[in-house]
Structure 1
Amino acid sequence: MSTPLASAMAADTSLFTTQVNDGKYQNAQAMPANASVWGILWRYVSEQRVDAAPSKGIPVMPLNASQLAALPVEQSSIIRFGHSSVYMQVAGQRWLIDPVFSQRTSPFSFIGPKRFHQPPLELSDLENIDGVLISHDHYDHLDKHSIKLLKDKVQHFVVPEGVDQHLLDWGVEANKISRLRWWQSASFGDLTVAATPTQHFSGRGLFDGNQTLWASYVIDAPEQRIFFSGDSGYFDGFKQIGERYGPFDLTMMETGAYDKDWSAVHMTPEQTLQAHLDLKGKALMPVHNSTFDLAFHSWYEPLERISYLSELADVQLVTPKIGEVFTVGQAQKTAAWWRDIK
């Protein structure tokens, strides 16, 4: 379901709009080519890795259902569950973003990137979830196991166009799913969610590349406005989103799994900071880090670099521990926890 505002935006030819060619979705801006799969695999075999995984346990603050129920309904609360998985209480509603509770981000249970840490609570502790946002269909963002366990506990699923078919295949009822193109939005009581562009790609197998759309999200509540980047390379779309929807009280920005061989589809910390500024963001929360080994950099490098850069730029950086509650709009000090476990 789209709002009149979203329809007006889609009609604006200056915006990056959803494009499909021969059944495949396309990025809105021309971008450099990524390295070949074989070249990347050779690097994994031949390059020596440094601190790919933490030598000590990632600090996790355990949660339970009672603690979630006690969160003040008049505030917007954000809790990182790991990687890009986030719990939000906004407009008095309980939402999850890209929930991944499986041990590996892989089509197989026995191989693929394995978690550095456990989630701060069990899926069974999550009840009466108002909604789930999915940014795209890669395994570290769309987890079949988690969706199947959540499908009867969730009232609404908001997904980019095409991702709805995955959910239908896994038993989610069609009337629970809102599928959006870029600049379309859906409203749920006092909360409006708008899908916005990213520069990325999709696919879960060898032959389904770019058959589903990828997106970032604007979460517009009466008390605050929040942005979630999904996965993206840096591009002019962030300026468009900032102009249309900014300023944002909080941006949750991809900061991790970047590399020179796929610079078009993942941002360096320097680009993450610039995107936050383009969005007219206030507080910046780095996500997409500290849970899985998905690149060649050390596990802590994304947080260290964005911490240094944000200090230089006088940007409020918030780096809560996994499971720690962050209240949007408050001057809440968070620790550089990764420095204790390098």
Structure 2
Amino acid sequence: MTPLVGSIRHALGLTAAQRGRELFDQSAQHDGQRFRNVKPRPVEGIGKTLGIAWNLLFNKPDGTAPASALPVDALSPEQLRAAPDRSLYRLGHSTMLLKLRGQFWLTDPVFAERASPFRRFGPKRFHAPPIALADLPPLRGVILSHDHYDHLDRETVLALAATTGVFLTPLGVGDRLIEWGIDASKIRQLDWWQQVEIDGLAFTATPAQHFSGRSLFDGNSTLWASWVIVDDALRVFFSGDTGYFDGFKTIGERLGPFDVTLLETGAYDAQWPYVHMQPDETVQAHVDLRGHWLVPVHNGTFDLARHRWQEPYERIVGLSAARGIALATPRMGERLDLSAPHRGEKWWREIEERVQETVTPRRWFSCRHGRQASS
């Protein structure tokens, strides 16, 4: 195969149906051709789809990206080795590093500069990861929620392959990894409600309301999932990407209550309510799950919607306070103790204050000299 042909095949993608996995036929989520949600998503016309894409690419309002650098706590390998068990570090977007029973687990790893199939085009990171990919400790496992580019980066996964013990994926996502060259013996593919135990930890793939695909031709050929992680009495929920649906209540009844919920709070829009949650829905999902501490994720790293970049934080703070929900908002790289979380600072406000401090003197100088203020 020539490099050109290989690049084209990688860009177009092969559907999971073409790979003919027998597991799909056994899944209630698979209709023989594609995976589906419990409640079917309304079919949207090509006109609406193109309109959404146009607005995202060419009609963005101001403020969807921060005007200055985000505060990030740098991490070192030595810090991570010395960290106590049940530590969690946000590395960006939906990438979380957890230390459980002396070993490290990583969710939805994306260390790429862009959440995109292209190196020079697509949503660019607001910040560098708190630790370089090469400096990560060996991982006991990687936990994947689905195959979208802001949750699964090919180069990141390939770089981690040699030092990762196991990859936990929804059905079909593991096939992608195998196609990329990951050792099939390291991959565990799970359907919704299936569980695997590894070194005393229990991992359950649970339902989500979303979709999948990495090209125009492979939509819903792989499954999407949320995850439940259980370490003795500690229970953690990781949402991946999802719209709000009745499944949260079912998960809470069957596997809750949860000490910590890592719930999607960002990249939402009224035009796509079935695949991403508004902040008020995030709060309701946390309640449905019977969660204690809520940690909003899927924000602060990539510009993936038309809301102001800090809006998810501001809205979730107000909504959580109104309902008496314990909210933790750690900075990127800041340690969160899963056994006893802390609230964290409203660090996103530092950026606005910093910008205002820079702009205000310039405005004062202009007015003093009788010229119109510039902003």
The question of a shared fold, defined as TM-score above 0.5 by the shorter chain, is answered with yes
Partner of residue 99 from structure 2, selected from 68, 74, 89: 89
> What corresponds to 1:228 in structure 2?
238
Cα pair 1:91 1:223 within 8 Å, conserved:
no
Q: Map 1:257-336 to 2 at 5 A.
A: 257-336=267-346
Deviation string for 1:53-79 (max 9, x for gaps)?
101111100001000000113xx1110
Letter in 2 for 1:241: I
Name the SS of the counterpart of 2:99 in structure 1: strand
**Residue among 202, 215, 220 paired with 1:210:** 220
Out of 198, 202, 205, the position equivalent to 1:195 is 205
Matches within 5 A, 1:153-172: 153-172=163-182
Choose 1 or 2 for highest CA Rg.
Answer: 2
Query: Superposition RMSD on alpha carbons, in Å?
Result: 1.3
Aligned length: 324
Judge conservation of contact 2:60–2:306 (CA < 8 Å) in 1: no
Shift of 1:283: 0.2
- Equivalent residues in 2 for 1:1-342 (5 A)? 18-33=28-43, 36-44=48-56, 47=59, 49-73=61-85, 76-342=86-352
Q: What CA distance in whole angstroms lies between the structure 1 residues aligned with 2:137 and 2:348? A: 31
Distance of 1:44 and 1:174 partners within structure 2? 37
Alpha-carbon distance between aligned partners in 1 of 2:268 and 2:157, rounded to the nearest angstrom? 27
Q: Report runs of 4+ in structure 1 exceeding 3 Å deviation.
A: 30-35, 44-48
Q: CA deviation at 1:277?
A: 0.4
Unaligned runs of 5+ in 2: 1-26, 353-375
Cα deviation, 1:311-330, whole Å, max 9, x if unaligned, reads: 11110100000000000121
Corresponding residue SS for 1:151: helix
CA contact (8 A) 1:18 1:28 kept: no
Question: Aligned pair in 2 of structure 1 residues 295, 289: CA closer, same or farther (>3 Å)?
Answer: same
More contact order relative to length (CA 8 Å, sep ≥ 6): 1
Residues of 1 paired with 2:44 and 2:96: CA distance?
Answer: 28
Provide the secondary structure at the position in 2 that maps to 1:261.
coil
1:179 alignment partner, SS class: strand
Task: Report the TM-score when normalising by structure 1.
Answer: 0.92
Deviations 1:44-103 (A, max 9, x none): 366450201101111100001000000113xx1110000000000123321000010000
What secondary structure sits across from 2:162 in the alignment?
coil
Higher helix share: 2
**Which is further off, 48-57 or 285-294?**
48-57
The 1:40–1:329 alpha-carbon spacing in structure 2 relative to 1, beyond 3 Å, is same
Could you tell which deviates more after superposition, 308-317 or 40-49?
40-49
Paired residue secondary structure (1:152): helix
- Secondary structure of the 1:341 match is helix
Give the AA of the match of 1:23. Answer: Q
